[in-house]
Amino acid sequence: MAIVLPEGLLQNISSGHIRFWIRTQANVLGVVSIPQEAFVPYGTGIKTSLMLLQKHPSDKQHHACFMARMQKVGYDVKGQVTYKRDGAGKLLRDTSVACIVDDDVEEIAKAYRKSAHTKKLIETDKVYSVPYELLDSRLDAEHYRPDDLRLIEQLQAGGAKPLGEISDILNETADFRLVPDGEIRYIAISDVDSRTMQVVSQQIIKAHKAPSRATYRVHKGDIITAISGASTGTRKQASAVITEEEDGAICSNGFAVIRNIREVNALFLLAYMRTEYYLRQVRRLMTGHAIPAISTEDLAKVLVPIPPKGEQENIAEGVASIQAMRRDASRIGEKVVAETEQIISRVHQYS
């Protein structure tokens, strides 16, 4: 059977029972990720995948699962056919003088037929096969990209440990709403500067006016990192260490709060969260396309290397100096504004 499914069914936690049922009833022969624009001309932008299944034979033998990431479907978001062009932009033609449609369909189909015939593992930038025993609770092709799997193997070989093993990820919500007229300091994702890795502002609001996302109380030494939103898994992902200035504030549940950090320097961990080693793992574990997110359970699986303490301290000193420079710049900015106001005040007096 071949069936096109919303990709959420292949990755979301809430659809895990569907994937379990599929695995008990059939061999997953292949999964092909389809570009999000594929069905836009027909009224929907839902991300989909093509799943190829075979009802369990009596012997239930499992072979490698074929995976592919289709990037071109041969037409654009308006349904207009797209054609291949050379480096100068000239249309490419086949022997019949017809223009060649620009798609990955035939290439992926040939790779699938070859893999089904030879039963050998294959790997290119678009198509690859995954040993059946390596399939976990997810079945989306993006989750099994070979370069990401190799990264995880390399980190494990180097002694990296899961984030959940070297820290606690907070799941206890704050009870600040019990005093509705009390004031709270609220930290949203937009209040964090991803470049300097620190909180740059706090909103002071009444508890009863706090947004529904206001959830966790943070304390000095915690690290907060965004787990939902378009910037998650990118260099713009908001992560910061909580200082004395933010101690006791309430943060959005768009953050994960990492506490009681062990075996690594907290500022080294914060710097690591901006590297591709960390962000690639986050992207691999994210679900959803309209609002991409990673669960705290999956965040706990992200591997963190444990370099020698001296190397960690060097990185931590660099992070601390970045944050100190930003605080100094902020103070200088406030001083300049105050002096400007004084000058204007004197001008008004003389006039």
**In Å, how far from its chain's centre is CA 310?**
30
Please report which confidence band the pLDDT of residue 350 belongs to, taking 50, 70 and 90 as the band edges.
low
For the chain, the distance separating the N- and C-terminal CA atoms, rounded to the nearest angstrom, is 86
**DSSP letters for 249-301:** -EEETTEEEEES--SS-HHHHHHHTTSHHHHHHHHHH-B-SSS-B--HHHHTT
Give the range among 49-63, 140-154, 265-279 with minimum mean pLDDT.
49-63
Q: Is 70 exposed, middle or buried (0-12, 13-18, 19+ CB in 10 A)?
A: buried
Domains of the chain (ranges, CATH numbers):
2-144 (3.40.50.150), 163-310 (3.90.220.20)
pLDDT at 351 over 70: no
Alpha carbon distance 164, 261 (integer Å)? 10
Average pLDDT, the chain: 91
| The total number of residues written for the chain in this structure | 351
**Nearest residue to 217 via CA among 244, 245, 248:** 248
The model's pLDDT over 221-274, given as tens digits with 9 standing for 90+, comes to 999 999 999 899 999 999 999 999 999 999 999 999 999 999 999 999 999 999
> What local confidence, expressed as pLDDT, does residue 302 receive?
98
> What local confidence, expressed as pLDDT, does residue 304 receive?
97
Check the CA dihedral 305-311-312-318 and report its sign: negative
> What local confidence, expressed as pLDDT, does residue 212 receive?
94
**Nearest residue to 279 via CA among 295, 262, 302, 258:** 302
> What local confidence, expressed as pLDDT, does residue 58 receive?
65
The model's pLDDT over 59-82, given as tens digits with 9 standing for 90+, comes to 667 778 999 999 999 999 999 999
pLDDT at 209 over 90: yes
- At position 204, the amino acid (one-letter code) is I
> What local confidence, expressed as pLDDT, does residue 87 receive?
85
> What local confidence, expressed as pLDDT, does residue 59 receive?
66
What lies within 8 Å, CB to CB, of 132 at 6+ separation is: 27, 28, 62, 63, 64, 65
**Residue of 118 and 34 predicted with greater confidence:** 34
Alpha carbon distance 227, 238 (integer Å)? 9
Contact 16, 137 (CB under 8 A): yes
The model's pLDDT over 165-198, given as tens digits with 9 standing for 90+, comes to 999 999 999 999 998 899 999 999 999 999 999 9
Q: Tokens for 300?
A: 């706990």
pLDDT at 90 over 90: no
> What local confidence, expressed as pLDDT, does residue 124 receive?
84
Q: Is 326 exposed, middle or buried (0-12, 13-18, 19+ CB in 10 A)?
A: middle
The model's pLDDT over 290-349, given as tens digits with 9 standing for 90+, comes to 789 999 999 999 999 999 999 999 999 999 998 888 778 878 888 888 888 888 888 777
In this structure, the dihedral spanned by the alpha carbons of residues 308, 314, 318 and 323, taken in order and rounded to 10 degrees, is 70
**Residue of 349 and 218 predicted with greater confidence:** 218
pLDDT above 90 covers a percentage of the chain that reads 73
What lies within 8 Å, CB to CB, of 74 at 6+ separation is: 81, 82, 101, 102, 103, 105
| Residues 24-45, mean pLDDT to the nearest whole number | 92
The pTM of the full predicted model, rounded to 2 decimals, is 0.85
> What local confidence, expressed as pLDDT, does residue 180 receive?
87
**Residue of 129 and 124 predicted with greater confidence:** 129
235 secondary structure, DSSP code: T
**Residue 171 vs residues 12, 174, 188, 205, 335: alpha-carbon distances, Å:** 20, 10, 17, 23, 40
